Structure 1
Amino acid sequence: MTITSEPDRATAQAWAALGGAPELAGRVRYRGAPGLGQGPLPVRELARATVGVCGLAAAELAAVRAGGGAGDAAPPVVDEGAVATAFVSERQLRVRGREPVNFAPLSGFWRAADGWLRTHANYPHHEAALVRALRLPSATPEAVRAAVAGLAAVEVQERVYREGGLAVAVAREYGDPRPLVEAVRVPGAPGRTWGPAPAGLPAAGVRVLDLTRVIAGPVATRTLGLLGADVLRIDRPGSAEAADTYADTGFGKRSALLDLAAAPDRAVFEGLLAEADVVVSGYRPGALERYGLGAAELLERRPGLVVAELCAWGWEGPWAGRRGFDSLVQAGYGIAARYAGPDGTPGVLPAQALDHGTGYLVAAGVLRALAEGGGRGLRFSLAGTASWLVREVPAAGPAAPGYAAQPWLRASDSGYGRLRHAASPFGEWPSGPSRWGTDRAAWLPR
């Protein structure tokens, strides 16, 4: 089994974006056979680099908690087979032997009068919005195909967004550059020091308030949970997560429901916030500000917090406030066109790499911020990860053959029954997830 000895350029780029000491990036070592294919963009290199910097950040925090410095971080070794399997965890999932539903019938690419369109209608309210916007006679692929064929792609995009749905015209060129990470230190924040952590659990004792949905944010928080954090996810009643999605990303955390517009639930939330060390938010810019829970407001109230925010389209520009998913960002950022087939039909990355890659970057950013005492605001976006992929991530050369997913598949009991699932690149979860929204809204004892 070969272990790389040269510093990996993509790892060095990601580590620098996270503010890590440059000399540490070369400590990450990769082994094993990758399995994300050799397409036109360096997805394999992005995947292993994001996992690599997460492992390095975990090692850095462990070293600091042991009384040393960042330079004492143990060199992490990342298996590329584990990375490849984890990056398609939603495809590897089996729930009581059943394959998951990853895309609904009305989610996909559609030929418009002047190009192509990508829709996302996995949630019932998004499907209903698509049906309203296009005045469909029925919620069927045939009806969508007929309606879109006679319209300009951007016209459909805007109609659907006005109705509260999700559709994006497939861009032929790459989108504007976006930063991979944005970080703001809080002046005068009280530095937090952590005592020694149990072996393999550098985030033990850290309380993480998880306000994320779908893939990128939940990947970040399930990773922090595996590394020892007490992760409590909070959702609003009535906005149910898809069961298969939570069965995949609910490892390493608990899940409770609170209505922030209701005074009793808001009081419970404020109590949780008062004892949290980290807040991870996956809502679009401006969504939490109406509750007084924007990052700036949280850091003003609690200067020692680590607040990590992620969104789809970036934090500036006309699309900053729009909802989005990995598949839509691939379409709108020019990646889908880059992967087009011979007949011009847009294609996709071999994994939802913007989601998974951003998730590991978020976890890495949180771990680094904890190692430096907290008091940090961090911003990430799927578009930022896309920008890095298409402009900066270098190809690492031919990949070693021999990848197989089987060594990285596990079986666990869960609130959804017996699961077959992908292992984490960082170890084993002790148990499967509970059912979404069924846990108590309270922290575990430290």
Structure 2
Amino acid sequence: MAHPAKDALHDLLTAASLPLPWAQAVAFPGAGPGLPSSFHLGAAAQASIAAAAVAAAGIHLRRGGPAQHVTVPLRHALAEFRSERHLRLDGAPPPDPWDALAGLYRCGDGGAVRLHTNFLHHRDGILQLLGGLPPERAAVAAALQEWSATRFEAAAAGAGLCVAMLRDFGSWDAHPQGRALAAQPPLLIERIGDAPPTPLPPLGARPLAGLRVLEMTRIIAGPVGGRCLAVHGAEVLHLSAAHLPSIPVLNMDTGRGKRTARLDLRQPAGAERLRGLLRGADILLQSYRPGALARLGFGPEAAAALRPGLVYASLSAYGEQGPWGGRRGFDSLVQTATGFNQAEAEAAGTPDQPRPLPCQALDHASGYLLALGAMAALLRRAEEGGSWHVRVSLAATGQWLRGLGRLADGFAAPDPGQEDIADLLEDSESGFGRLSAIRHAAQMSATPARWAVPPMPLGSHEPVWSGGGAAFPAPPSSG
């Protein structure tokens, strides 16, 4: 019987146009569901983390390094898919990032909608749309009885808010956006400009040493992509802006391995500084809503014109094509809209109690796919030349997860607590205090994965390249 993670890894390498024989050096210890779910979350975690590690090992090999083996244990991969949940700051859990109003609500027509209110302006916008309500769950629940689920989802989207109507798989597959995504692979890599071949840097101690990544992402998926590139040795400079909201606990977890600076692209000086940084970058990771950076002059083609040979990697919620191509979204909303919550409820025998996946699987898998695509594009840049655009969406990742099949006994799996994953943690000093966090799950035989830079509060550094040297010594670790 085929191993589901091995099959999934082959699918990802095929989508990235990477050699399938590279998968032969990968081991997937562990068996079973791993988390209580009817979906193959373990296979998705192992395969996506392994695919990125295989791409990094391939780059190291092409630079003259040795061939190496990659091992991704099931238990460790799933713990990393819940890394934000297992983070501890000075020995205690950090504040809960979820807003009190976030969650699923029934509407007057019997349908349901999920609200994402973790950003204050999204929460206030929903309260205003509902008639200027106070921030109380009971008031929101009562007001939604005056709406149908379809009408409220559409009204919220029209107001730029973050809401998703509960659907089952059949409804999503029949939806115009579901149909637009139906034939798409989990990642897309396309040439968007001409440039001569760019050789990979001379061999370094780590697979991505000497490669520079500009990261313009928030929340989980995009930052996980940057964190993955950093763990294999890339210099990652994360850019934010003071006027943009953020969630500190997520920055603590996904900021490992990165320096962080602030730029306001609405100001001429900030835009000019970004142009300078782009001219020295190999990869730009961005997870803003489709079209947002283009309106500021930094869309894929414009960025590639500034830096011929750039790999521009974009993450979106629902893809860039179709009627929802510009819609805002987060993992929890995409799970709801595309059928996962209802499918889990039915598999658990509680069809009237929509059930989220036990981890932000779409976020985490998409982050590793974003890193995978960026590294695959670097290899193509070295061989063929050109500038490249990598596209990943949470909804397409969900479609890939669905394609891995279902588990008949998945809910019999235990739900691991902090004590169950204690051996997978590493301790380090940071700009927030002493952190305990999940180590990277991909074990590399020749170039062990590690983060050389501790996480710091947003804006702690200047928006300049470091010249390839580490800004901080490698943090101590234990466990």
Please indicate, yes or no, whether the TM-score normalized by the shorter chain is above 0.5.
yes
1:239 corresponds to: 244
Structure 2 equivalent of residue 56 of structure 1: 54
**Which 10-residue stretch deviates more, 345-354 or 259-268?**
259-268
Match of 1:190 among 196, 202, 212: 196
Aligned equivalents of 1:39, 1:260: Cα separation in 2: 42
Corresponding residue to 2:300 among 289, 295, 312: 295
Structure 1 residues 86-128: Cα deviation after superposition (integer angstroms, max 9, x where no partner)? 1001111122313331321111111112211111000111111
Which of 77-86 and 172-181 deviates more?
172-181
Question: Are 1:324 and 2:329 counterparts?
Answer: yes
User: Does 1:203 pair with 2:203?
Assistant: no
Change (3 A) 1:31 1:92: same
Change (3 A) 1:424 1:397: farther
Match of 1:231, SS?
A: strand
Q: 2:129 aligns with which of 117, 124, 133?
A: 133
Per the alignment, in what secondary structure is the counterpart of residue 11 of structure 1?
helix
Are the aligned partners of 1:153 and 1:169 in contact in 2 as well (CA < 8 Å)?
yes
User: TM-score, normalised on structure 2?
Assistant: 0.86
Q: How far apart, CA to CA, are the structure 1 residues paired with 2:253 and 2:112?
A: 30
> CA-atom RMSD, angstroms?
2.4
2:404 alignment partner, one of 376, 393, 396: 393
> What residue is the counterpart of 2:451 in the other structure?
429
Does 2:396 correspond to 1:384? yes
Q: How do residues 209-358 of structure 1 correspond to structure 2 at under 5 angstroms?
A: 209-340=214-345, 342=350, 344-358=352-366
Q: Which of 410, 417, 420 is the matching residue for 2:426?
A: 410
Could you tell me which amino acid in structure 2 is paired with residue 349 of structure 1? L
After superposition, the Cα gap between the structure-2 partners of 1:7 and 1:220, relative to the gap in structure 1 and judged at 3 Å, is closer
- Check whether the contact 2:59–2:379 (CA below 8 A) recurs between aligned residues: yes
Question: Which whole-Å deviations, capped at 9, do the CAs of 1:16-36 have from their partners, x for residues lacking one?
Answer: 111112232333211146774
Q: Distance in 2 between matches of 1:188 and 1:73?
A: 31
Once the two structures are TM-superposed, the CA of residue 435 in structure 1 deviates from its matched residue by 0.6
Give 1:323's aligned amino acid. R
Q: Secondary structure at the match of 2:285?
A: strand
Deviations 1:300-321 (A, max 9, x none): 3333111111100011111110
Dislocated runs of 4+, deviation >4 Å = 4-7, 394-403
Secondary structure in structure 2 of the residue aligned to 1:8:
helix
Q: Which amino acid aligns with 1:331?
A: T
Q: Deviations over 1:141-160 (max 9, x none)?
A: 11111111332112221222
Equivalent AA in structure 2 for residue 416 of structure 1: F
Partner of 2:154: 158
Q: 1:214 to 1:225 in 2, by over 3 A?
A: same
Counterparts of 1:5 and 1:336 in 2: how far apart (Å)?
A: 26
In structure 1, how many angstroms separate the alpha carbons of the residues matched to 2:364 and 2:200?
A: 28
Aligned to 1:105: 100
SS in 2 for 1:444: coil
Which has the larger displacement, 38-47 or 12-21? 38-47
State the Cα distance separating 1:433 from its structure 2 match: 0.4
SS of the residue corresponding to residue 339 of structure 1 reads helix
- For residues 195-251 of structure 1, what are the alpha-carbon distances to aligned partners after superposition, in whole Å with 9 as ceiling and x for unaligned? 44333x211111101011111110010111111111111122211311111111111
Q: Deviations over 1:242-294 (max 9, x none)?
A: 11111111111111111112122222111111111111111121111112211
Q: Once structures 1 and 2 are overlaid, which stretch shifts more, 155-164 or 275-284?
A: 155-164
Return closer, same or farther for 1:370/1:43 CA change in 2, 3 Å cut-off. Answer: same
Q: Which residue of 2 aligns with 1:74?
A: 68
User: 1:420: Cα distance to partner?
Assistant: 2.0
Q: Does the CA contact (< 8 Å) of 1:45 and 1:395 recur in 2?
A: no
TM-score of the two chains, using structure 1 as the length reference: 0.92
Which secondary structure does the structure 2 equivalent of 1:421 belong to?
A: strand
CA shift, 1:137, in A, is 3.1
Q: 1:153 to 1:6 in 2, by over 3 A?
A: closer
Q: Percent identity?
A: 33
1:170–1:334 Cα contact (<8 Å) kept: yes
Equivalenced residue count is 437
1:124 to 120, 145, 165: 120
Query: Quick one: distance in 1 between partners of 2:296 and 2:441?
Result: 36
Is contact 1:35–1:81 with CA below 8 Å preserved after alignment? no
Distance 2:354 2:413 in 1: 28
Note if 1:40 corresponds to 2:38.
yes
Deviates most, 357-366 or 26-35: 26-35
- Give ranges in structure 1 of 5+ residues lacking alignment: none
Name the counterpart of 1:89. Answer: 83
2:442 is aligned with 1:442: no
How many angstroms does 1:6 deviate by?
9.7
* Whole-angstrom CA distance in 1 between matches of 2:33 and 2:256: 23
